[in-house]
Amino acid sequence: MAISVDPPETNRDLRVSQGYTFTFLSDPRTETIRRYDLLHEKAGPGGEDLSRPAEFLIDSSGTVRWANLTESYMVRARPDQVLQALDAMVLPEQGSAR
């Protein structure tokens, strides 16, 4: 899922235009974004608050098990990095998560 400060309509339009199939959530009051310390205050056009680019793997108890934090929205974790982190979360006797 993705979380953004953008309104639902903007997120919907981006999701549709890019063909994304995962859920986009809007956090215009930045409650969740602040909880994960991901707010870039006044970093956007016109001094808007932006959410910092990040990817997380969160287990069923809500514990962050892996995080990829960057300063640039252009830098994202590669799929193989995420899959490797996911595999590391699975107990060895359970085998691969894939």
Residue 75 and residue 58 share a domain? yes
Residue 41 and residue 3 share a domain? yes
CA 17 to each of CA 2, 10, 13, 23, 39: distance values in angstroms, whole numbers, following the listed order: 15, 11, 6, 14, 25
Residue 48 and residue 1 share a domain? yes
CB 12 within 8 A of CB 24: yes
Question: By residue range, what is the domain housing residue 83?
Answer: 53-98
Residue 65 and residue 47 share a domain? no
Q: Nearest to residue 39, comparing CAs of 53, 23, 26?
A: 53
- Report pTM: 0.64
Q: How many domains does the chain have?
A: 2
Residue 38 and residue 12 share a domain? yes
Residue 58 and residue 42 share a domain? no
pLDDT tens for each residue of the chain, 98 residues long: 888 888 999 999 999 999 999 999 999 898 988 988 888 888 888 888 888 888 888 888 888 889 988 877 778 888 899 899 888 887 544 555 55
